[in-house]
Amino acid sequence: MAAENDRRQRADDNYKRLRKQLDERLKADEKLKKIAEKIKQGKADFKDTSEYSKIISEHLGKIISENIGEINNPMGKELVCKALLEDNYELINGVLGEVQASVDEKMGVHIKPQKAPFPAERVMKAAHSLEDKTVPVETIKRRAKSASTNVSMSFHDDYMKANADFRSNAGLTCYITRTDSGKCCDWCSKIAGRYVYGKEPADIFRRHDNCKCSVIYENGRQRQDVWSKRTWEQPANPEPYEPTVLSPDEAKEIQQRKLEGYKGLTKPPKESKIEESEDSKEKKPTVLSPEQAKEIQREKLNEYKGLAEKNEEEKSEEVPEYAKGSSDFSDEAKVKLYRDERILTGNRYETAILYDETGNVENRKKGNADSVHFTEKEIKTMKGKILTHNHPNGSTFSSADINMLRRADLAEIRACSRRGTYIMRRPKNWSKDIPDFETIDIEYHNIYERIGKEYRDKAAREGKNIVEYLGVVDDKTIEEFCKKYDIEFHWESALDEN
């Protein structure tokens, strides 16, 4: 036990020493400073993150290579390399998530960035290769540099693949672009290019040693039907419309021709004849005695009474217990809200409906596969009202939904799916710690990453895929966020009406 503790302590000391050197180099790198500033200003894109990944990966490879000969404790090289690669994984995915959120905000896309799975086997293989006793130290140094750099850069590729795949399945047309470094091999040159995701070459994400190619993805302008994969888009340069201008004489001539065509339409043809039916012929009225008249009157009154009772029964059944709706809505408005949401959940695109305080519909707006866009003017009319919308993929609220609740000062926002409806109601006072979308998004994703790590570890222990826990992670993230900032949050299940 003492030997094991000593081994780990020495490995931890070496890690801290290399970590300090690496941080100093990253801090002094001018290119990184410029990229960091672009990210801070919300101006960075995935070309910037690719360059960011390349720079920090190269620094990592050099640091490990330069120090590897000084790490002599058993398994020390492997442990230090693995720990530093894990750091870069978190760093690269964090930067990518931040840039993704900024890009999505500009495009009006409300899809949560997907953190790429940690490639444990790939990392372990690279780290373990540094413990090879059959090769000279110079070979180990070359491995340390090339393998560590390569694996670290692949974290960026993994993120690109994971998010392109997730968004393609959500209905967005995505593109993969591989760009060679200009000094690459024939294989890299041949595979470089821009491809629709799903139709790219099989090895587009593959890297050989010392490969410096960049691989990025982008959301296209097209949207696709997730079921049929049919795509559509608005023409980039629609043909301009020019009205036809007529002179007074031309207008008069056209009007005259039209009037000529209408002649005779206002009178029935001469040969047309309307036959009188037998029922329309004059009949003698039926004369009733006073007793007969009273009897018929009693029958009619009883009939109307029965109809009235039946209507009351039907009216009471119109407000099922599960149609709770908004707390201030009338029973009829609650039922309407529930029925509206059940209809929305059948759509493969997002649609939003805005209700006033009593349940009257004020606005209905159709969006696309993953978002609904409102103008600034529309948002200003939403204060104190209730906004519902469907999430075709069944997910809970996003950071953008939380921001809409805050920004529009809605009384309530709802996200419905076939299973039921997520509901958030505004707090009495919004926390000063989340004054805008940027801070909301950062806090949301900090919680998401922490909970996600817990369930990633849980999945690993149980031998399961983390995908099985993504829904749980989403729900726990929004629950914790709302609890922390006094936002009322709950779930209403839809009943099976079949």
3-state class (DSSP) for residue 216? strand
- Please say if the pLDDT value at position 495 is more than 80: no
Q: Say if CB 127 and CB 89 are below 8 A apart.
A: no
Using an 8 Å Cβ cutoff, are 11 and 76 in contact? yes
> Which pLDDT band, with edges at 50, 70 and 90, does 306 fall under?
low
Between the alpha carbon of residue 30 and those of residues 44, 52, 225, 392, the distances in Å are 16, 11, 44, 44
Mean pLDDT of the chain: 78
3-state secondary structure at position 220: strand
Are the C-beta atoms of 194 and 176 separated by less than 8 Å? yes
Whether residue 305 lies inside any domain: the answer is: no
Burial class of residue 362 (count of CB atoms within 10 Å of its CB; 0-12, 13-18, 19+) = middle
Q: Considering 139, 159, 179, which residue would you say is the last residue of a domain? A: 159
User: Is residue 293 included in any domain, yes or no?
Assistant: no
Q: What is the pTM of this model?
A: 0.46
Number of compact structural domains in the chain: 2
| pLDDT tens figures, 454-482 | 988 898 899 887 777 888 888 999 999 99
- 429 within a domain of the structure (yes/no): yes
Q: Which of 319 and 42 is assigned the larger pLDDT?
A: 42
In a domain? residue 29: yes
Summarize pLDDT for 249-289 with one digit per residue, the tens: 666 666 666 555 545 444 444 443 434 444 444 445 556 66
Residue 319 lies in a domain: no
Measured CA to CA in angstroms, residue 26 lies from 31, 54, 141, 210 at distances of 9, 12, 21, 20
258: in domain: no
Choosing from 118, 136, 159, the residue where a domain stops is 159
Residue with tokens 């540094």: 130
User: Residue 69 corresponds to which amino acid?
Assistant: G
Beta carbons of 438 and 400 less than 8 angstroms apart: no
**Which of residues 125, 159, 193 is at a domain's end?**
159
* pLDDT value at residue 227: 30
Residue 302 lies in a domain: no
- Contact between 217 and 175 under an 8 Å Cβ cutoff? The reply is yes
Identify the domain containing residue 25 by its residue range.
2-159
Q: What is the pLDDT of residue 104?
A: 81
Cα–Cα distance for residue pair 494/311, rounded to 1 Å: 26
Domain assignment present for residue 183? The answer is no
Neighbours of 379 (CB within 10 A): 14
